[in-house]
Structure 1
Amino acid sequence: MKKVFLMLTLLVFGLTSCGENKAAKDSKKLRVGLNAVFAPFEYKENGQVVGFDVDLINEIAKDLNYETEIIDQSFDGLIPSLKAGKIDVIVSGMTATDDRRKSVDFTDDYFVSKQLYIRKKGNSSVTPSTLKGKKIGVLLGSIQEIAARKINGAVVVPNKSIVNTILDLKMGKVDALIMDNVVAIEYMKKNPEMEIFDEKVDNDGMAMAFDKGKNAELIQKINAELKKLKENGKYDELLKKYDLRK
């Protein structure tokens, strides 16, 4: 009788272990690259990287049985890191431009934003029509840098840190900044000496980026999850949580 009980115990234990091993095997890791200075999309709070993008990819990853590992780094290094295999996906408010599509594959858009043109409050010499010869601060590798380089005669001053671009404006090292509108508004709450003098609508939206030609099936699954989140109301909940509703 004891032998039968022992065999049953071992059998049940073995089945349980197999189930746990299978679950562990089926659970995959997704290394998520971002630059945690774009509140409310990604930023640090109490030492943790949080934000709309983080919640969104975590929600999608959970439904697809992925674990996520957040890797915070400079924005201009995200695509090189993706190409080098150091991260699996970029989720960092990255706009899906035609130029970027040459080296990465994008998911469907998950947010469409505007570009704000910012100057020191009261500096009426900086206007949309007087940017020729003016120094414009932008984040290195961003869509704002691309926009600035299209301004005839403007002197583009790229920086690896968005915080440093703001400091440059406050110290008079640049005459204007171009920033994403949601991000700009967050920074302007703490820097009231800045003001908006122009805005332009993005032609392209923000999307998640994967190395080109390597993740077609996963991109398709993420697009399906994005659609589902928008249909079941969870996407709107995240917009409301981070005050991103238009």
Structure 2
Amino acid sequence: MKKAIGLFLMSILLIGLLAACGSTEKNSSGGQNGDDKKVLTMGTSADYPPFEYVDTAKGDDYIGFDIDLANAIGKELGYEIEVKDMDFAGLIEALKGGQVNFVMAGMTPTEDRKKNVDFSDIYFTAEHMIVSKKDSGIETIEDLQGKTVGVQLGSIQEGKADEISEQVDIKIENRNRIPELIQEIKAGRFDAAVIEDVVAQGYFKNNPDLTGFTLKDDPEEAGSAIAFPKESEHTAEFNKVLNEMKENGELDKLIEKWFRSKE
């Protein structure tokens, strides 16, 4: 009798443990059974104002154009967006390795990147800029002859610097983060850097000793898009909302907020 009671109690305990385990299983979007919250992780490199950055004077939250756009799309689709910050050069691998669900980082859908990931439609276009000290005398591509030019590692600006090197003799150096490029210029270790124009403008405001000129390129070369793993189910649904935002003016409102209304 004692043995039978013991087996019965053990069965009840086992059933309880299995039920407890089942109640904490996560669904494919990161939520939990019985909980409507679905979570997607966004990979980014939060050193790229006004796209994504941290305003340390106001707190430690990630803010910027890409952050607002991701949250707007997520809200429409019923997802909560969690942001994961990392070096730009590691974003594609993080996406391929399943560490993040998508990437928004002012990323351009180059042909090389398309071999590894899928992209949404382009949601913003900018141009490349050569940034240098005001007293550098650098005003044209020809003025870069014999100079050291910095670029962000893994960025499309690396390719642009390679193009420039075919026109004039330059030494190309890369760094992981945009602020590092700015510091290298100010310290005199770099003569110039290739940076996206809307990003460079933000640094000019806080560094009056810097200036720059814009390179006239094919606009598509500097277009930003959202990156997804190959064959991701999220690509089509993000595109749908993105195009709706283009049509109803919501995307223009975000562009006005982050790029055109800054004094």
Same fold judged by TM-score > 0.5? yes
Q: Secondary structure at the match of 1:242?
A: helix
Paired residue for 1:160? 176
Paired residue for 1:38? 48
Matches within 5 A, 1:11-160: 24-25=35-36, 27-45=37-55, 46-124=59-137, 127-151=140-164, 152=166, 153-160=169-176
Question: Is the radius of gyration larger for structure 1 or structure 2?
Answer: 2
| TM-superposition CA deviations, 1:15-34 (whole Å, max 9, x none) | xxxxxx87725x42211001
CA contact (8 A) 1:93 1:207 kept: yes
Change (3 A) 1:232 1:43: same
**Cα distance, 1:102 vs structure 2:** 1.1
| TM-superposition CA deviations, 1:182-223 (whole Å, max 9, x none) | 0000011101111113423343310000112x31x4211111
Q: Secondary structure at the match of 2:111?
A: coil
Q: Which amino acid aligns with 1:189?
A: K
Paired residue for 1:211? 229
**Cα distance, 1:133 vs structure 2:** 2.6
Matches within 5 A, 1:192-207: 192-201=208-217, 202-204=219-221, 205-207=223-225
Q: Does 1:190 align with 2:217?
A: no
Change (3 A) 1:198 1:218: closer
**Cα distance, 1:175 vs structure 2:** 1.0
CA distance in 1, matches of 2:132, 2:189: 12
Q: Secondary structure at the match of 2:84?
A: strand
Q: Which amino acid aligns with 1:59?
A: A
CA contact (8 A) 2:43 2:103 kept: yes
Count matched residues: 222
Unaligned runs of 5+ in 2: 1-31
Paired residue for 1:225? 241
CA contact (8 A) 1:182 1:244 kept: no
CA contact (8 A) 1:138 1:165 kept: yes
Q: Which runs of 4+ in 1 moved over 4 A?
A: none
**Cα distance, 1:98 vs structure 2:** 1.1
CA distance in 1, matches of 2:157, 2:246: 28
Q: Secondary structure at the match of 1:122?
A: helix
C-alpha RMSD of the superposition: 1.7
CA contact (8 A) 1:132 1:154 kept: yes
**Cα distance, 1:166 vs structure 2:** 0.6
CA contact (8 A) 1:126 1:176 kept: no
**Cα distance, 1:104 vs structure 2:** 0.9
CA distance in 1, matches of 2:62, 2:116: 27
CA contact (8 A) 1:104 1:209 kept: yes
CA contact (8 A) 1:126 1:175 kept: no
CA distance in 2, matches of 1:81, 1:195: 34
CA distance in 2, matches of 1:104, 1:179: 24
CA distance in 1, matches of 2:152, 2:69: 24
Paired residue for 2:27? none
Q: Which amino acid aligns with 2:98?
A: G
Q: Which amino acid aligns with 1:239?
A: I
